[in-house]
């Protein structure tokens, strides 16, 4: 399944049915008069967050969604049938944006959450509503209200507890594969990751979701590269894990490049808790490790953890540091194996 996190849709709610102009004329039955019924209400356009989806690819092949119109009213005081609603099933974490791509109309962050994007038009009144003592035979009825037509954007921000950041080839995909059951593409060239990957990571009988996004480069906030498109997927994370390539000759510059892009992106992303780790230490000897570690510590002004996604050295310590920044209500505890006592008659 291809990954798609931004798409445009065209929606239109249903028009209300018109009211009826009708009179009761039945032989041998007195007290006739107006009996025109009201029109039915037009259908709504609704967005609903559902389980089992992590992409908006379904909206690549269908962009137009029109709800049904309400049925017109009829004689004998019969109200027209309401139009059927139409429901857009979207992944959890989808934002509904107005046509300007900036105004957020709704943010669906929980399964089952629903929002009405376009209200259906009300049905018109039949002539029965206009009967009065001075107008006992009204010959007027209201038309139904028109539906609402609008253009919207759907933007997906994946729900994850922790996010991976780093330059291309910093070893993010290798780390995710080593710490979870996710199987992202891994290769020895930059921009191997072209779309976000999610993995469930477990440590100390607790599980949390980690997101790996494409690597950032200098100038990403100005549109260079592809990583800036996916920074929104780590906006909801509680903590960011910043991986720096320990085999690089410009460790301090590599670290600062990512920090500059986070600050240029804006919002709360630059102020989220961060865990900084020096990756690929399996390629360094003891002296090179210490030199690289001191360089990175001086650049970030804090603690630096050491790890290798290939040899899994230091992997548990890094996961524990990430877990410590996630609130307990977001962690999922593993079900421990409990030995049952043998059955006795």
Annotated binding-site residues read 166-173, 191-195, 212-215, 279-282, 308-310
Task: Kindly state the helix (H) or strand (E) to which residue 278 belongs, with its residue range.
Answer: strand 274-279
162-165 and 23-24 strand pairing: unpaired
Residues paired with 243 in a beta bridge? 277
3-state secondary structure at position 345: coil
Q: With helix as H, strand as E and coil as C, how does 146-171 read?
A: CCCEEEEEEEECCCCCEEEECCCCCC
Q: Roughly how many angstroms between the first and final C-alpha of the chain, as a whole number?
A: 53
Find how far residue 274's CA is from the centre of its chain: 23
* Residue list, annotated binding site for Mg(2+): 173, 193
* Residue list, annotated binding site for GTP: 166-173, 191-195, 212-215, 279-282, 308-310
Q: How many CB atoms lie within 10 A of CB 150?
A: 15
Task: Kindly state the helix (H) or strand (E) to which residue 289 belongs, with its residue range.
Answer: helix 286-300
| Selection from 153, 154, 122, 119 nearest residue 45 by Cα | 119
CB 113 within 8 A of CB 48: yes
Residues paired with 144 in a beta bridge? none
* Rounded Cα distance, 282 and 303, in Å: 20
* Rounded Cα distance, 34 and 68, in Å: 28
CB 115 within 8 A of CB 96: yes
* Rounded Cα distance, 306 and 288, in Å: 12
Q: Phi and psi at residue 261, in whole multiples of 5°?
A: -70, -35
Q: What is the DSSP string of 216-239?
A: P-TTGGGT-SSGGGGGGGGTT-SE
* Rounded Cα distance, 17 and 14, in Å: 9
């Amino acid at each position: 399944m291809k990954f798609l996190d931004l798409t445009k849709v065209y929606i239109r709610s249903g028009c209300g049915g018109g009211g009826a102009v009708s009179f009761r004329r039945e032989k041998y039955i007195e007290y006739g008069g107006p009996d025109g019924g009201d029109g039915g209400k037009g259908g709504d356009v609704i967005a609903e967050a559902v389980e089992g989806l992590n992409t908006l690819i379904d909206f690549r092949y269908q962009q137009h969604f029109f709800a049904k119109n309400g049925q017109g009213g009829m004689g004998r005081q019969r109200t027209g049938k309401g139009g059927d609603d139409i429901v857009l099933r979207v992944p959890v974490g989808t934002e509904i944006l107005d046509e300007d791509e900036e105004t957020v109309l709704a943010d669906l962050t929980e399964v089952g959450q629903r929002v009405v994007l376009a209200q259906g038009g009300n049905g018109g009144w039949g002539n029965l509503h206009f009967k009065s003592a001075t107008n006992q035979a009204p010959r007027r009825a209201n038309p139904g209200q028109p539906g609402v037509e609008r253009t919207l954007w759907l933007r997906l921000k994946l729900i994850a507890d922790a996010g991976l950041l780093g330059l291309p080839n910093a070893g993010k995909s290798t780390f995710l594969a080593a710490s979870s059951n996710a199987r992202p593409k891994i290769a020895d060239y930059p921009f191997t990751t072209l779309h976000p990957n999610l993995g469930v990571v477990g440590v100390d009988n607790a599980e949390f979701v980690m997101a790996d996004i494409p690597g950032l480069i200098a100038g990403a906030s100005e549109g260079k590269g592809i990583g800036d498109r996916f920074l929104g997927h780590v906006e909801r994370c509680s903590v960011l894990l910043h991986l720096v390539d320990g085999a690089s000759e410009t460790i301090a510059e590599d670290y600062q490049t990512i920090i500059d892009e986070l600050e240029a992106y804006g919002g709360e992303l630059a102020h989220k808790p961060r865990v900084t780790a020096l990756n690929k230490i399996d390629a360094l000897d003891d002296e090179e490790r210490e030199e690289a570690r001191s360089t990175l510590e001086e650049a970030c002004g804090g603690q630096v953890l050491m790890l290798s996604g290939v040899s899994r050295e230091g992997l548990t310590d890094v996961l524990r540091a990430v877990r410590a920044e996630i609130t307990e209500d977001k962690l999922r505890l593993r079900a421990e194996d409990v030995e049952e006592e043998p059955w006795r008659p």
